[in-house]
């Protein structure tokens, strides 16, 4: 009988993972569960999977791993259940918005020693991968500066913003992860500032729609991140690592490669508006990496510590933005 | 019961279409057939389809269309069978290497009035689509010059070359189609020349590995095509339309968008080496277009005449290269 | 008789202006002076100008303007002399490293009402000009974020660093000017941090070789600047203005536009290493602008207030970097 | 006393060379002559040179070289005069529109053994230079294909076209030179075709405004050139060398490097409209090269044979376009 992977949570991101698994891991059977069973059944029909009730998942003898794609508040609960069952976990980011909860997950994973990976999909994007390789191969020498721009095409719904944990935990968290992915030195200090320049309702919801974060690493390197909830030209996602020997930039992708030259100048395409379009292949590469890790062992591609650190940085950034002062950290690795 | 689409021929290109159909047309049932039944069964297992024997296809009550993906020499036979059965046809390029055979297919399709589309997938690539749109929207004005470069990453096996019909029918045929796609004026004259610069065995096989084609359109516009069987940097595919108001270029895609800048200069990615990688989304868009055509009617996205013309141009190019003189044509539309 | 323009100071930057004037203003006679007279004579021979002693400059009846290209510590003295003589002034940046001295120059210029322009040449670069035009024309909408990267190809000599006023007054000052050029809103807060990552001797000289500056404008827009004294790939100079309707980027120039594509990828040129090469045309455009201002009147292209503000911001940045806290400002316009 | 260089012909191109000489060769005295003496005097005043009557040039004891910038019909006469006087020659392209006349110049130069260089300035452009270097360094391996696009921003005046010798001798001649510059193999066959797509008056003048040239080299490599007299987006000048190991492209320059990204896509600058703007530095590098050649000896950077070959190719192209057949050549090196 085939090995099974179960997805808990069949919303948007659960569907993305369901398709990525069927495309990249034809050797596994996919099992789907959702608090609303009809969603699991619908998705199962579309991708050729099997829908079950969530509690029944843990009893399945061939279950090898669960992909936790449910709402953020339920992540740690399912991580603990999987740890108890001795089942490997792929957990969507963030592990939790609450650092204490994250620490509970860290203990569960550490104590049970289950394979565990956080779904920071950007790490598996070919462009970011090539950027990382350039750094690891020494192409830029010692890292001195890191610049990250992440700007969404439009703000999420206001009711989402209300439960998102704020821009630093919801959006910048990917950039905190990217900084740790690319700069091999703990963060010792964070300064963050936010503004509301797009929609006053976001201010009423207690959040920012525009943010800048500065970080100092133990090595002396500095990271600068900027975020906006609304970029007219699409999902802007650029990273730049500058060092003693040169620079590597992870540039935007574009919708197509046709260019018009006329009397006004040259005209090319916008960047993809949807993160699923921009990161389409990243989700597939993510599952290939998780599968290798499950079977070949070794360190987790994105460990539970990698899940904790960006939350810690996001919490510090939020505090800095509130107090308008830099926040010292005990070296967030 | 669901509508069925059958694929005849489950080799490499048949597999590509099988996946494209399951991804884009979840509302149809996919049926697979191959002269070697085990190939159909294997593919059916991988994509969740149903394998049958080829002759049985025509008896299926819900069959709406066949995708002819078998070897080129069998295309016309299956087109005629589908015409007789009143089943719509999606036919891989080229319709046939023999112009008389193509004409037989033209008659079968015309007489039966079945929906028919040729699989010139490049027309459905987002970059070439944006190029076409720029031309249709008048962004370049009247077309004066068309430049096409198609260069493969490496030559096909010699035994394939022997049955390929030669570089003009096998490789340039896509560029002849692209020229007709982009320049709305019949071709009146063709001059073609070939050379063997990569592998002398290709010369022994009676073919060229490098070729240039010049064409004059009725409007006075001129097209220049160059082909090579071996580009060190990947599958080079560029198109450029120059006109009275400007130019649109369909540039190469790249494996990723990371760029390194060091003391030597800037360094970016190669272009994709495999046409399946370069044209991944084109195959999906192709099936969306075929489905719309089947259901909404209207002119075929790529009609049987669109299937005949590139073969006629390729035959003329071959004759020009042999005789080393320009060949006049009665306006190949 | 022809109108005269005099250059005081015939070192590197004086030579640059001498050539720019002879190329762009053939209708004026050029007069040169230097504390070391032989330097004035040598340059005069090379560009077809006339060398005089500095004190004699003010007596020349046809003198219309002086270009102050002497060492920074002497700028204000010459500005005051020109104000007294009623002669127009073109003054190299910075006006002074000492804010009190700058204020003395402001009073001299304001009281005498002489035409006055600061030599922030980057404002006249065609790429930065096109960037500014895009902002002024509303192409990016309301400005939300400004990113500036200025990185030199190599550090200046240590003895220069010792008298440079520090990285913020010597190098970032251009970026402070660029921020004011592009963002039409006063700066209310500055946070700056420096590091020594290139050469420990720079630390011994009491300076940084790497720096990041964050600024908040009254409008809520935020500016982020990063600087390095050593970029392996040349003189990196990029600016990016992000707003409600889009983004405009002022990208690097490159030594040439040839690109190699091979099995390793694509390979292009480095960026120009020397600021004179990068900004060659900017110096010519600067003099065309100064000449128009002299003859047609209107506001100064770069007024004495434009000379003061970057110094004020640089001083605040230095204080922020020392105290490691954000510095509030009374809206530096 | 200083060495002298004399310019014969003080029109547009003579002025360009006058400025290039004064900028790059401050160690020489410049002497100017023109059939219309006032033009020489005017230019002399502008660049600090000395105007003389043409016949007096040859008597000047310090004359080292003449730059022949007069009308094309007078080139050979002046070359012969210089050969008789033993004076080095820099001759604007083309040497002559008449191949017999060119041969007369070849004999004069060969017999007298004077230093001689043709002003094919494009060879000295940094982008084309980098392209050439890539080829010489083996970066593209054996050359298989060469593509050249040269398109002017607008047609010259009709009265100029009437005496220009036709598009192949007037415009394509630079591309013939570029093909010889980049492909180290004689041309054995030429096929050329022209069209009138821009202005019917050009047809009445007996010329084409759009042209395509195909050439086969002895090595088997093929060159394709396309020309247009009118490109809406500026002076299009691109070259591409494709070979066994890769490709090098000489891309267009752009007016500036600012890029706007908005909801419609990305928008950049046009390419320079004027060849003087595009090739500004090429003229300076040309004189540096000529000066080194004069003083250090060695082969001419652009020899009299380099002057003859493009004329021979242009004549053959004209014949091919008239007869509509390929023309065989005895290997134009």
Report pLDDT digits (tens) over D164-199.
Answer: 999 999 999 999 999 999 999 999 999 999 999 999
Mean pLDDT of A59-77: 97
- A88-91, strands of its sheet edge to edge: A50-51, A28-33, A3-8, A63-68, A88-91, A116-118
Which of A127, A246, A257 lies closest to B260 in CB terms? A246
β-bridge pairing B28-33 and B3-8: parallel
Which CATH number goes with the domain that contains D132?
3.30.360.10
Instruction: State the Cα–Cα distance between residues B232 and D241, nearest whole angstrom.
Output: 13
Q: Does residue A160 sit in the same domain as residue A61?
A: no
Kindly tell me if the per-residue pLDDT of B333 is higher than 80: no
Segments forming the whole domain that contains residue A316: 123-270+309-332
Written in H, E and C, the secondary structure of C245-289 is CEEEEECCCCCCCEEEEECCEEEECCCCCCHHHHCHHHHHHHHHH
Condensed to tens digits (0 to 9), the pLDDT of residues A170-213 reads 999 999 999 999 999 999 999 999 999 999 999 999 999 999 99
Q: Which bin fits B239, alpha (ψ -120 to 50), beta or left (φ > 0)?
A: beta
Q: Does residue C109 sit in the same domain as residue C175?
A: no
Kindly tell me if the per-residue pLDDT of A71 is higher than 90: yes
Instruction: State the Cα–Cα distance between residues B325 and D210, nearest whole angstrom.
Output: 21
Written in H, E and C, the secondary structure of B6-26 is EEECCCHHHHHHHHHHHHHCC
Q: Does residue C189 sit in the same domain as residue C319?
A: yes
Which residues lie below 8 Å from residue D167, measured CB to CB, with a gap of 6+? D194, D207, D208, D209, D211, D227, D229
A258 interface with D at CB cutoff 8 Å: no
| C-interface mutation test, from A187, A225, A273, A324, most C Cβ less than 10 A away | A324
Q: Considering the domain boundaries, does residue C66 fall inside one?
A: yes
Residue A104 backbone dihedrals phi, psi, to 5 degrees: -60, -40
Q: Does residue A183 sit in the same domain as residue A326?
A: yes
Q: Considering the domain boundaries, does residue D301 fall inside one?
A: no
Q: Does residue B17 sit in the same domain as residue B108?
A: yes
Quickly tell me which residue has 């990250």 as its tokens.
A148
Q: Considering the domain boundaries, does residue B265 fall inside one?
A: yes
Condensed to tens digits (0 to 9), the pLDDT of residues B96-131 reads 999 999 999 999 999 999 999 999 999 999 999 999
- Output the pLDDT for position D298: 95
Instruction: State the Cα–Cα distance between residues B104 and B73, nearest whole angstrom.
Output: 13
Residue ranges of chain C with pLDDT lower than 70? 1
pLDDT band with cut points at 50, 70 and 90 for residue B26: confident
User: Which 132-191 residues of chain A touch chain C by CB within 8 A?
Assistant: 141-142, 144-145, 147, 149, 151, 191
Q: What rounded mean pLDDT belongs to chain B?
A: 96
Which DSSP symbol is given to C205?
T
Q: Considering the domain boundaries, does residue A190 fall inside one?
A: yes
Q: Does residue A149 sit in the same domain as residue A243?
A: yes
Cis peptide before A86 (omega within 30 of 0): no
The domain boundary, picked from B114, B138, B167, lies at B114
Condensed to tens digits (0 to 9), the pLDDT of residues D143-158 reads 999 999 999 999 999 9
Which of D46, D250, D269 lies closest to C257 in CB terms? D250
- Partner-chain contact D249 C255, CB within 8 Å: no
Chain C: nearest CA to D261, how far in angstroms? 5
Which DSSP symbol is given to D168?
I
DSSP string, A69-135: -S-GGGHHHHHHHHHHHT-EEEEPSPS-SSHHHHHHHHHHHHHHT--EEE--GGGGSHHHHHHHHHH
For residue D309, give Cα distances in angstroms to A187, D78, D80, D102, D131.
66, 20, 19, 10, 21
- Output the pLDDT for position D275: 86
Q: Does residue D127 sit in the same domain as residue D266?
A: yes
End-to-end CA distance of chain C: 41
C26 interface with D at CB cutoff 8 Å: yes
Residue in A109, A6, A116 with CA at minimum distance from that of residue A60:
A6
Kindly tell me if the per-residue pLDDT of B294 is higher than 80: yes
Which residues lie below 8 Å from residue D270, measured CB to CB, with a gap of 6+? A261, A263, A264, A265, A266, D233, D234, D254, D255
Which of B145, B195, B245 lies closest to D228 in CB terms? B145
Secondary-structure breakdown of chain B: helix, strand, coil percentages, each rounded to the nearest 5: 40, 25, 30
Instruction: State the Cα–Cα distance between residues B241 and A178, nearest whole angstrom.
Output: 41
- Partner-chain contact C267 B262, CB within 8 Å: no
Q: Considering the domain boundaries, does residue B291 fall inside one?
A: no
C15 interface with D at CB cutoff 8 Å: no
Q: Does residue C209 sit in the same domain as residue C250?
A: yes
Written in H, E and C, the secondary structure of B147-158 is EEEEECCCCCCH
Instruction: State the Cα–Cα distance between residues C52 and C37, nearest whole angstrom.
Output: 8
- Output the pLDDT for position A1: 67
- Partner-chain contact C195 A326, CB within 8 Å: no
Query: For D144, which residue in chain B has the nearest alpha carbon?
Result: B197
Q: Does residue D28 sit in the same domain as residue D73?
A: yes
Which CATH number goes with the domain that contains D45?
3.40.50.720
Which residues lie below 8 Å from residue B184, measured CB to CB, with a gap of 6+? B143
Secondary-structure breakdown of chain C: helix, strand, coil percentages, each rounded to the nearest 5: 40, 25, 30
Q: Considering the domain boundaries, does residue B293 fall inside one?
A: no
**Alpha-carbon dihedral sign for residues A60, A61, A62, A65:** positive
Residue D139 backbone dihedrals phi, psi, to 5 degrees: -65, -25
Kindly tell me if the per-residue pLDDT of D1 is higher than 70: no
pTM score, whole prediction: 0.95
Higher pLDDT, A163 or B332: A163
- Output the pLDDT for position C1: 67
Residue in A276, A269, A275, A237 with CA at minimum distance from that of residue A254:
A269
* 3 state DSSP class of C222: strand
What tokens does C32 get? Answer: 């040169």
The domain boundary, picked from D85, D114, D143, lies at D114
Instruction: State the Cα–Cα distance between residues A90 and A77, nearest whole angstrom.
Output: 14
Instruction: State the Cα–Cα distance between residues A324 and B236, nearest whole angstrom.
Output: 52
pLDDT band with cut points at 50, 70 and 90 for residue B85: very high
- Output the pLDDT for position B1: 66
Distance of CA A275 to the CA centre of its chain: 11
Chain C: nearest CA to B233, how far in angstroms? 5
Number of structural domains (chain A) is 2
Condensed to tens digits (0 to 9), the pLDDT of residues D231-270 reads 999 999 999 999 999 999 999 999 999 999 999 999 999 9
Long-range CB pairs of C15-21 (<8 Å, 24+ gap) are C15/C43, C16/C276, C16/C283, C17/C67, C17/C69, C17/C90, C17/C119, C17/C283, C17/C287, C18/C43, C18/C47, C18/C49, C19/C47, C19/C283, C20/C283, C20/C284, C20/C286, C20/C287, C21/C67, C21/C287
Which of D126, D131, D258 lies closest to C250 in CB terms? D258
Q: Does residue D237 sit in the same domain as residue D325?
A: yes
| A-interface mutation test, from D234, D258, D259, D265, most A Cβ less than 10 A away | D265
Q: Considering the domain boundaries, does residue B304 fall inside one?
A: no
B48 interface with D at CB cutoff 8 Å: no
Instruction: State the Cα–Cα distance between residues D107 and D119, nearest whole angstrom.
Output: 19
- Output the pLDDT for position D23: 83
Q: Does residue A231 sit in the same domain as residue A211?
A: yes
The domain boundary, picked from A114, A145, A171, lies at A114
End-to-end CA distance of chain A: 41
Q: Does residue B133 sit in the same domain as residue B26?
A: no
Q: Considering the domain boundaries, does residue B84 fall inside one?
A: yes
What tokens does C12 get? Answer: 């590197």
């Amino acid at each position: 009988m085939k090995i099974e992977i179960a997805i808990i949570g069949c919303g948007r991101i659960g569907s993305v993972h369901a398709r990525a698994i069927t495309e990249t891991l034809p050797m596994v059977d996919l099992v789907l569960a959702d608090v609303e069973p009809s969603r699991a059944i619908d998705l199962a029909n579309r991708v050729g999977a099997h829908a079950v009730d969530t509690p029944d998942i843990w009893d399945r003898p061939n279950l090898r791993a669960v992909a936790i794609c449910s709402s953020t508040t339920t992540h740690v609960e399912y991580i603990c259940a999987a740890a108890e069952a001795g089942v490997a976990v792929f957990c969507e980011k963030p592990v939790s918005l609450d650092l204490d909860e994250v620490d509970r997950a860290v203990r569960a994973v550490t104590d049970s020693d289950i394979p565990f990976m956080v779904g920071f999909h950007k790490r598996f994007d070919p462009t970011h991968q090539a950027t990382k390789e350039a750094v690891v191969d020494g192409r830029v020498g010692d890292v001195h500066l890191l610049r990250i721009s992440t700007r969404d095409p439009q703000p999420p719904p206001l009711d989402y913003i209300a439960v998102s944990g704020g821009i630093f935990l919801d959006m910048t968290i990917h950039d905190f992860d990217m900084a740790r992915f690319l700069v091999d030195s703990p963060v010792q200090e964070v300064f963050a500032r936010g503004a509301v320049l797009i929609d006053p309702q976001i201010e009423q919801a207690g959040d920012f729609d525009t943010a800048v974060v500065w970080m100092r690493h133990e090595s002396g390197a500095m990271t600068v991140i900027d975020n906006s909830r609304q970029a007219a030209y699409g999902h802007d996602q650029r990273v730049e690592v500058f060092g003693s020997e040169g620079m590597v930039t992870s540039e935007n992708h574009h919708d197509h490669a046709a260019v018009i030259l006329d009397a006004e100048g040259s005209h090319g395409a916008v960047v993809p508006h949807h993160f699923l379009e921009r990161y389409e292949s990243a989700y597939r590469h993510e599952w290939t990496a998780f599968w290798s890790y499950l079977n070949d062992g070794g360190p987790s591609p994105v460990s539970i510590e990698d899940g904790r650190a960006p939350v810690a940085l996001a919490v510090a950034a939020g505090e800095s933005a509130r107090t308008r002062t830099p926040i010292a950290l005990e070296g967030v690795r």
